[in-house]
Structure 1
Amino acid sequence: MTIEFLQHTLFFPMMIHGLGFLSLSASLVLPWALTGLVQGQKITESLVKDVRQSFPVQQMSLPSRKLISQVSTATTYYVSATGNDRNSGLTTSSAFRTIQRAADLTRPGDTVLIMNGEYTNAPGRGAVLGISRSGTANAWIKFKAYPGHSPKIRHNTWNGIGFAKQVSYIEINGLEVIGNNANVTLSYALSQKYNSSNVLTNGNCINLDGRGGGIHHIRILNNKVHDCGGSGISATGADYVTVDNNTVYNNSWYSVYGTSGMSLLQNWNSDGNQGYKMFITNNRVYNNRMYVPWIQRGVITDGNGIIVDISKSGTNGAYKGRTLIANNISYKNGGSGILTHESEHVDIVNNTAYFNQQSPELKKKGDIYAGYSSDIKIFNNIIYPSPGTNTNTNLYSNVMNRNVTYDYNLYPNLAVVIVRGIHDVIGDPQFVNASNGDFHLRSSSPAINRGYYWSSLTSDFEGTPRPSGSGYDIGADEYR
């Protein structure tokens, strides 16, 4: 898609990632000031639902992940489903009713604790929680579940949680965000495949859109994100984003925009740091899939588990920072489990991808692969494709890819392995119960102690120290 097209289009807040051969990806966004103007009525229908490359590998050190302490003047606000926005919000017994009421008062260092209950978008609003105030480097603003509670954000508008441009130093922690899929049938969604302004089918769960003013230093932690017609967790034009320990599923079903479970699109340089700045780690991502064609091409293009998209031409030039995608479990998605498209400086390490490419249109892409990309390292991954699909692809080798290294990965017997590293392992990974989502390794697994020593990755999907034996295991879980 051309820049001229983007400049002359009415934008809506969905992530678009077109991945067809020689195609460009794009993103559309409705300006923040307009997101509160659209509110659709509820639909009453029920849901119908072998390239060898040189070594050694140069690794980047991970920065400190310690939480930043709050300033002494910080305020804690409380929100409860039985609260009242006329309250002070300063105690559990005087809690606000809406999260937005607290958000509109926050200053650097403040925390909003959200108690049990269901929180929905008010009529005419574009999000249940619209974040427009920033923290600082020494005083983040945090929106967290009250200890022991499991609050739910349910919406049928553009975003469950949306971020204004230029917002920074925000943490979202321990929330459940639920979209509108249960109120949409596939037949209805297909009837809307040319309607880019239908909030009922196109809404996202958690959406950061920094085009026109970059977003930076955002942490999305420990959330459950599901059933949004659009993207699950998406960040466009952002920098220093950590997406860790989330469960993301059943998204991207009905949107006309090419969306995925998790996506980073056109990353933004807030500084010149070339170390790790973007982290997608320890997430479980599954059953995200496109059923409605991307409106710009009329075909199924995405519905991936995790994608890093067009960082070669970020919102202010090629992205200089490095991205770590590690310890994720990505399975049964419509597109690939994990991929990069027109991107660079990405390490895809110790992930488990299983039975992805569920969309027939995408079965030759690969469960984990890089396309039109450079400086990509794909190490220590278990890549277990669906029957009749590829583990990876060489469509982009030599001409379109530069310095893309696959090695120390494990592929099952009889898998179609297009690009193979000299230390790759062929064999049954021996999962405990993959059909039920249990990807722990049995004691006889050939993945044990066969991985590359990735020294900056010191734990696995569940926090177990890595390595736990004589060497690194392959895959998201370290055997113990």
Structure 2
Amino acid sequence: MMIHGLGFLGLSASLVLPWALTGLVQGERITESLVKNVRQSSTVQEMPLPSRKLISAVSTATTYYVSGTGNDRNSGLTTSSAFRTIQRAADLTRPGDTVLIMNGVYKNPRNAGSVVSIERSGNAKAWIRYKAYPGHLPKIQHNTWSGIGLSNGVSYIEINGLEIIGDNANISLGYALSQKWNSSNRRTNGSCINIEGRTRHAHHINILNNKVHNCGGAGIAVIGADYVKVDNNTVFNNSWYSVYGCSGISLLMNYNSDNNRGYKMFVTNNKVYNNRMYIPWIESGTISDGNGIIVDISKLGKNGPYRGRTLIANNITYRNGGSGIHAHESEHVDIINNTAYANGKSLNLTKGEIYAGYSSDVNIFNNIIYVSRGRNANSNMKNKNVTYDYNLYNKGARITMMGSHDVIGDPQFVNPSNADFRLKARSPAINRGYYWKDLKTDYAGKRRPAGSGYDIGAYEYR
């Protein structure tokens, strides 16, 4: 058996959903750049002059400011001359630019598909960044297809520190049920952040430190993309009302932008909870998803099987409708050091807290998998080379696949009823994990290992 650490090889692929609705997921198919942030640099051009001397013309990056009290007729170049809409800044961005978003509530114009539609790309040496202004808490609130939509083959983009809110608070379950055949309802089907790469494939996208909630569709949907990093986000109360079978964080149809077989897709350090389907998937008439995190149908795709690896690590998933984490029809996925607690709130979804189905080359190591008594902790549905080991299961869990180093016992969380999944001093998870050589920190950003060995779960005990 070969066990992959953070720099090893892998493969995967993709399948196409109906184009109609950006950012939504089908059945077990919806779906959220790992390239490290590259320091912005200016470009230098040299022009020949009659004196035969050279002069440098330096193109510098621009910072645009957006404020809830701004005006789109302003220059956008200072805090006192800020734009009112993020879209105004997005339409001006060039590689290396930064959009700093100050306090305010930013809503979609009537009939617009997004609050902000990002279609202009950065490059490898000059990312375009959309960030909260230091100390500010801007809110993007929408009742349309997406709060933030990324399309047109966009690349080298960072979304950092924003709150994206859907329209769930204004929708009743009765109204949503009355719309269960309406695939064109933006309010019920809209996602919070959507990367749409089915026609022109997106790559090198970082989704960092955001609060993403109350969208009828997906929380963070990544479709047909490559080199995506979804890190340190809080994703909750999504997927309730869409007819498309959505989840909290979804990676769907990962796309090969190159032949790299190392880690390229990352879902790390996220807290994902209470994402659930209440409306049946329109294709089957059943509740099918509402997972915390899913990697979906990467084995099939327009340009062949996905060749990169996907890392899902240090996440906390709890009380979602479907599984906490799973890989469906996917390959080359490592699910490492996560904590999944009491998911499967949709009682017809019984495949497990953390599991793989119809998949191959999947490693499921160092996870705390806690289920209600008699519920499935995992399953083995037509898998090949899927390995469970060094995991901790609670007593009363139904365990289909069990590794030689797996542990059964009470994880002894500090206060799970208040979502505090840190470990107490006597937890059987302490020092019982596998040494995953390149995973150097835990969910809280603390060093791994803290003791004589890796702990199991998202937290290292201190």
**TM, length-normalised to structure 2:** 0.91
Rounded Cα–Cα distance in structure 2 between residues aligned with 1:244 and 1:10: 27
Q: CA RMSD in A?
A: 1.6
Q: 1:49 matched to which residue of 2?
A: none
Q: 1:36 matched to which residue of 2?
A: none
Letter in 1 for 2:406: D
Question: Contact conserved, 2:34 with 2:265, CA < 8 A, in 1?
Answer: no
Question: Contact conserved, 1:287 with 1:331, CA < 8 A, in 2?
Answer: yes
Alignment partner of 1:13 is 2:22: yes
- Structure 1 pair 265–10 and aligned structure 2 pair: CA distance change class (3 A): closer
Where do 1:58-457 residues align within 5 Å?
65-71=36-42, 73-362=60-349, 364-394=350-380, 396=381, 400-457=382-439
Rounded Cα–Cα distance in structure 2 between residues aligned with 1:156 and 1:91: 30
- Structure 1 pair 372–229 and aligned structure 2 pair: CA distance change class (3 A): same
Once the 2 structures are TM-superposed, how far is the Cα of residue 6 of structure 1 from its aligned partner?
6.5
Rounded Cα–Cα distance in structure 1 between residues aligned with 2:267 and 2:429: 22
Rounded Cα–Cα distance in structure 2 between residues aligned with 1:325 and 1:186: 32
Rounded Cα–Cα distance in structure 2 between residues aligned with 1:262 and 1:68: 28
Count of paired positions: 431
Rounded Cα–Cα distance in structure 2 between residues aligned with 1:26 and 1:351: 20
Output one character per residue of 1:243-262: Cα deviation in whole Å (capped at 9) or x when no partner.
Answer: 00000000000000010000
- Classify the secondary structure of the residue corresponding to 2:99: strand
Question: Contact conserved, 2:389 with 2:404, CA < 8 A, in 1?
Answer: yes
Q: 1:44 matched to which residue of 2?
A: none
Question: Contact conserved, 2:30 with 2:251, CA < 8 A, in 1?
Answer: no
Once the 2 structures are TM-superposed, how far is the Cα of residue 68 of structure 1 from its aligned partner?
2.8
- Classify the secondary structure of the residue corresponding to 1:218: strand
- Classify the secondary structure of the residue corresponding to 1:325: strand
- Structure 1 pair 284–375 and aligned structure 2 pair: CA distance change class (3 A): same
- Structure 1 pair 371–70 and aligned structure 2 pair: CA distance change class (3 A): same
Once the 2 structures are TM-superposed, how far is the Cα of residue 433 of structure 1 from its aligned partner?
0.3
- Comparing 63-72 with 246-255, which one deviates more in the overlay? 63-72
Question: Contact conserved, 2:24 with 2:190, CA < 8 A, in 1?
Answer: no
* Identity %, equivalent residues: 69
Rounded Cα–Cα distance in structure 2 between residues aligned with 1:478 and 1:115: 35
Rounded Cα–Cα distance in structure 1 between residues aligned with 2:30 and 2:228: 20
Once the 2 structures are TM-superposed, how far is the Cα of residue 314 of structure 1 from its aligned partner?
2.7
Q: 2:53 matched to which residue of 1?
A: none
Question: Contact conserved, 1:132 with 1:163, CA < 8 A, in 2?
Answer: yes
Rounded Cα–Cα distance in structure 1 between residues aligned with 2:16 and 2:362: 28
Letter in 2 for 1:227: N
- Structure 1 pair 185–430 and aligned structure 2 pair: CA distance change class (3 A): same
Question: Contact conserved, 2:424 with 2:461, CA < 8 A, in 1?
Answer: yes
- Classify the secondary structure of the residue corresponding to 2:80: helix
Question: Contact conserved, 1:300 with 1:361, CA < 8 A, in 2?
Answer: yes
Rounded Cα–Cα distance in structure 2 between residues aligned with 1:208 and 1:433: 35
Q: Higher strand fraction: Structure 1 or Structure 2?
A: 2
Once the 2 structures are TM-superposed, how far is the Cα of residue 63 of structure 1 from its aligned partner?
8.0
Rounded Cα–Cα distance in structure 1 between residues aligned with 2:262 and 2:74: 45
Rounded Cα–Cα distance in structure 2 between residues aligned with 1:439 and 1:6: 37
Once the 2 structures are TM-superposed, how far is the Cα of residue 164 of structure 1 from its aligned partner?
1.5
Rounded Cα–Cα distance in structure 1 between residues aligned with 2:308 and 2:75: 42
Alignment partner of 1:469 is 2:455: no
Letter in 1 for 2:343: N
- Classify the secondary structure of the residue corresponding to 2:388: strand
Structure 1 outlier segments of 4+, above 6 Å = none
Once the 2 structures are TM-superposed, how far is the Cα of residue 212 of structure 1 from its aligned partner?
1.3
Once the 2 structures are TM-superposed, how far is the Cα of residue 466 of structure 1 from its aligned partner?
0.2
Rounded Cα–Cα distance in structure 2 between residues aligned with 1:227 and 1:252: 8
Once the 2 structures are TM-superposed, how far is the Cα of residue 16 of structure 1 from its aligned partner?
2.1
Once the 2 structures are TM-superposed, how far is the Cα of residue 69 of structure 1 from its aligned partner?
2.9
Question: Contact conserved, 2:30 with 2:221, CA < 8 A, in 1?
Answer: no
Rounded Cα–Cα distance in structure 1 between residues aligned with 2:344 and 2:432: 26
Once the 2 structures are TM-superposed, how far is the Cα of residue 401 of structure 1 from its aligned partner?
0.9
Rounded Cα–Cα distance in structure 2 between residues aligned with 1:427 and 1:472: 17
Output one character per residue of 1:270-308: Cα deviation in whole Å (capped at 9) or x when no partner.
Answer: 000000000000000000000000000000000000000
Question: Contact conserved, 1:17 with 1:309, CA < 8 A, in 2?
Answer: no
- Structure 1 pair 383–6 and aligned structure 2 pair: CA distance change class (3 A): closer
- Structure 1 pair 287–221 and aligned structure 2 pair: CA distance change class (3 A): same
Once the 2 structures are TM-superposed, how far is the Cα of residue 240 of structure 1 from its aligned partner?
0.1
Rounded Cα–Cα distance in structure 2 between residues aligned with 1:148 and 1:204: 26
Once the 2 structures are TM-superposed, how far is the Cα of residue 10 of structure 1 from its aligned partner?
6.0
Output one character per residue of 1:392-443: Cα deviation in whole Å (capped at 9) or x when no partner.
Answer: 012x1xxx21110000000011211111000001100000001110000001
Once the 2 structures are TM-superposed, how far is the Cα of residue 124 of structure 1 from its aligned partner?
2.0
Q: 2:441 matched to which residue of 1?
A: 459
Letter in 2 for 1:153: I
Rounded Cα–Cα distance in structure 1 between residues aligned with 2:25 and 2:142: 21
- Structure 1 pair 453–6 and aligned structure 2 pair: CA distance change class (3 A): closer
Rounded Cα–Cα distance in structure 1 between residues aligned with 2:126 and 2:334: 30
Question: Contact conserved, 1:266 with 1:315, CA < 8 A, in 2?
Answer: no
- Structure 1 pair 184–320 and aligned structure 2 pair: CA distance change class (3 A): same
- Structure 1 pair 276–98 and aligned structure 2 pair: CA distance change class (3 A): same
- Classify the secondary structure of the residue corresponding to 2:417: helix
Question: Contact conserved, 1:161 with 1:206, CA < 8 A, in 2?
Answer: yes
Question: Contact conserved, 2:34 with 2:229, CA < 8 A, in 1?
Answer: no
Output one character per residue of 1:22-66: Cα deviation in whole Å (capped at 9) or x when no partner.
Answer: xxx479xxxxxxxxxxxxxxxxxxxxxxxxxxxxxxxxxx98735
Q: Which runs of 5+ in 1 are unaligned?
A: 20-24, 28-61
